[in-house]
Amino acid sequence: MDKKSEVDATIALFVDLAKKQAKNFCAYLNKHRSRIINYGYCQAEQIYSIGSGSVESAIKQIGLMLKLSI
C-alpha cells in the first residue's frame, strides 16, 4: 500500500467520529500528508534508519550541557 492510500485509509477510520480530537487528527493528516513518511518503503529500500536512538542521545547530551552551564 502506498503512502497516499495509507493516509486515506487512516482518515476513513476517524472521519465519521464526532469527537473534536478525531476531527483535529483528520485535519492534521490532510494538512501534512505530503510530509508523512512512508516508513515501510524507507525501511525496505534501506534509505535511512527510522530509529530514534540517535535523536534521544543528542537530546540527552544537550540536556547535560545545559545543566553544566547553569
pLDDT at 51: 67
13-22, 34-43, 55-64: which has the highest mean pLDDT? 13-22
Q: What is the mean pLDDT of residues 61-67?
A: 81
Q: pTM (2 decimals)?
A: 0.56
pLDDT at 60: 84
Mean pLDDT of the chain: 82
- Report helix, strand or coil for 66: helix
Of 9, 38, 14, the C-alpha closest to 26 is 14
**Runs of H (alpha helix) within 3-52:** 3-14, 20-32, 39-44
What length is written for the chain?
Answer: 70
